[in-house]
Amino acid sequence: MKKPVSLQVGRLGMLTLPVCTCVYTGSARKHIEARIARHLRRKKTLRWHIDYLLVHPDIEVLEVLQFTAPECEVNQSVTGTVALKGFGSSDCTAGCVSHLKVLTDSP
Q: Which is nearer to Zn ion, 52 or 87 (CB)?
A: 87
Chain-centre distance for alpha carbon 6: 14
> Phi and psi for 81 in degrees, rounded to 5?
-110, 155
Indicate which single residue of 12, 20, 92, 97 sits in contact with Zn ion (rule: CB under 5 A). Answer: 92
Measured CA to CA, the distance from residue 37 to residue 29 in angstroms comes to: 15
Indicate which single residue of 96, 100, 101, 102 sits in contact with Zn ion (rule: CB under 5 A). Answer: 96
Indicate which single residue of 37, 64, 94, 107 sits in contact with Zn ion (rule: CB under 5 A). Answer: 94
Instruction: Please give the C-alpha separations between residue 2 and each of 17, 73, 83, 97, in angstroms, as whole numbers.
Output: 10, 28, 16, 25
Query: Taking CB under 5 A as the rule, does residue 72 contact Zn ion?
Result: yes
Q: Which is nearer to Zn ion, 15 or 96 (CB)?
A: 96
Q: What residue ranges bind Zn ion (CB under 5 A)?
A: 72, 92, 94, 96
